[in-house]
Amino acid sequence: MPDEGPSARGVIHGATAKKGSANYTLIDLDSPTAAKVAAFYDARLQSPVWQDLPPARSIGAVASGDVLDITIWDANVGQGGEELTPGSLSASQGKGFAVVAAVDSTGMISVPYAGRWLVAGFTPAQIEQQLVRRLGQKFVDVQASVIVKENIANTVFFEGDVLHPGRVALQSQGLRLLQGLALAGGSKDPDPALVVTVERGHITASWPLIASIQDRQANIPLSPGDAVTVSLRPTHYYAFGAVNRPGVQELGSTNQHLAEVAGTMQGLQDARANPAGFFIFRYEPASLVAALQPSSEKVSSAQPVVYRLDMRDPQSFFVLSTFPVQPGDILYVSNARIAELAKFLQLVSGFGTSIQTGKNVGNQ
């Protein structure tokens, strides 16, 4: 007999099967449980995850990838007379010379007469002083100018859902997230479901972009070398089984409750649905699963969970207005046993009709 999905008994059995075959935790949904889940996601939404990022580095220091425009000259040139101090740089080089030096992956540059040394982490002014000291061992009254020609280090890279992905130069007075996003052209699709992800060093943090608009603390100062990705948070859930409107459904907001979703699905099919077999499939953080079901097996990552709601219980309507639906959730309503029996009887009836039709044809 054709089937459209697991029965309620099958879903329950999958969670209570022998160790080794069970791959999800079954949790019965009641008002206290729904309130705990709602509180967890509310706190997660409001959590200042941007504080997990390392402090922003100072702007102006040179780093690998930068290109420096260096000019070296003798301070005596133009001070009167053609006679220059013996050993002067200008004696062999005229008024001086210019060098273009790229900061390599080790943070070092190489300059004629000065040799090779580490400049990453120093400002152009500090590099000028270092260069004069190094050249002063060979020449008299040497002066140097260091200008950052290509400033790779003091930029932030924007990618994802922005109009102009690429590098944005940090200004000397600093740049905050929303200012940087504006310089990158803003988002292609202004939507409350936008998420910003900032990668700084080896730490990554993600939060709703709207939080940076509503909370100045979330509009963080950008740091040289940050990588910022703007993306649309998945906004769909999936409805299957004995519902009046199955398929992919759109979540209208970031905190939509099960009551709104049930309305979008247009409720359960009266003739088929098992009201005690309303299930929500999702992956939950291990910390939440441990809080809801302390006896569950301890894991360190996201854990597959199936929530079961019994719509025969009047309390379930309070659960509907509390339990938050998350992007990617699968909502499934199993068939009632009477519906399966009706399918079987219909199949048997159709088979009997076919036999009778065959007999009638044979008797003609």
Per CATH, the number for 49-57+154-232 is 3.10.560.10
Q: Which has the minimum average pLDDT: 59-63, 235-239, 300-304, 316-320?
A: 300-304
Please give the residue that has the higher pLDDT: either 34 or 17. Answer: 34
pLDDT at residue 125 in the model: 92
Among residues 224, 223, 207, the alpha carbon closest in space to that of 215 is found at 207
Given a contact cutoff of 8 angstroms between Cβ atoms, the answer to whether 240 and 292 are in contact is no
pLDDT tens digits, 129-142:
999 999 887 777 88
Residue 358 — pLDDT band, cuts 50, 70, 90? very low
Q: Which has the minimum average pLDDT: 199-203, 216-220, 293-297?
A: 293-297
CA angle 299, 41, 196 (to 5 degrees): 95
Given a contact cutoff of 8 angstroms between Cβ atoms, the answer to whether 24 and 13 are in contact is no
d(CA 334, CA 168): 53
Given a contact cutoff of 8 angstroms between Cβ atoms, the answer to whether 236 and 327 are in contact is yes
Give me the mean pLDDT over the 216-231 stretch. Answer: 92
Residue 227 — pLDDT band, cuts 50, 70, 90? very high
Residue 93: exposure state from Cβ atoms within 10 A (0-12, 13-18, ≥19): middle
Mean pLDDT, the chain, rounded, equals 81
Give every strand in the sheet of 227-232, ordered side by side. 166-169, 155-160, 227-232, 194-200, 203-208
Query: Is the pLDDT assigned to residue 337 strictly greater than 80?
Result: no
Among residues 355, 108, 326, the alpha carbon closest in space to that of 236 is found at 326
d(CA 283, CA 327): 11
Sign, Cα dihedral of 360, 361, 362, 364: positive
Give me the mean pLDDT over the 243-262 stretch. Answer: 83
pLDDT at residue 352 in the model: 46
Please give the residue that has the higher pLDDT: either 339 or 304. Answer: 304
Give me the mean pLDDT over the 234-241 stretch. Answer: 85
Query: Is the pLDDT assigned to residue 110 strictly greater than 90?
Result: yes
Spatial CB neighbours of 210, under 8 Å, sequence gap ≥ 6 = 192, 194
Give me the mean pLDDT over the 293-302 stretch. Answer: 75
Please give the residue that has the higher pLDDT: either 249 or 323. Answer: 323
Residue 252 — pLDDT band, cuts 50, 70, 90? low
Query: Is the pLDDT assigned to residue 184 strictly greater than 80?
Result: yes
Q: Which has the minimum average pLDDT: 101-105, 208-212, 345-349?
A: 345-349
Token code pair at residue 119: 């400049």
pLDDT at residue 84 in the model: 35
Name the CATH superfamily housing domain 8-45+235-342: Outer membrane lipoprotein wza domain like (3.10.560.10)
- Alpha helices in the chain, H assignment, sequence order: 8-16, 31-46, 90-93, 124-135, 177-183, 209-214, 258-264, 286-292, 316-320, 337-363
Among residues 291, 211, 239, the alpha carbon closest in space to that of 37 is found at 291
Give me the mean pLDDT over the 323-327 stretch. Answer: 90
Residue 344 — pLDDT band, cuts 50, 70, 90? very low
Question: Do 8-45+235-342 and 49-57+154-232 agree at the fold level?
Answer: yes
Residue 1 — pLDDT band, cuts 50, 70, 90? very low
pLDDT at residue 137 in the model: 79
Query: Is domain 67-150 classified as CATH 3.40.50.11930?
Result: no
pLDDT tens digits, 19-48:
554 578 899 999 999 999 999 988 887 788
Residue ranges per domain, the chain? 8-45+235-342, 49-57+154-232, 67-150
Query: Is the pLDDT assigned to residue 116 strictly greater than 50?
Result: yes
Whole-angstrom Cα Rg for the chain:
34
Query: Is the pLDDT assigned to residue 87 strictly greater than 90?
Result: no
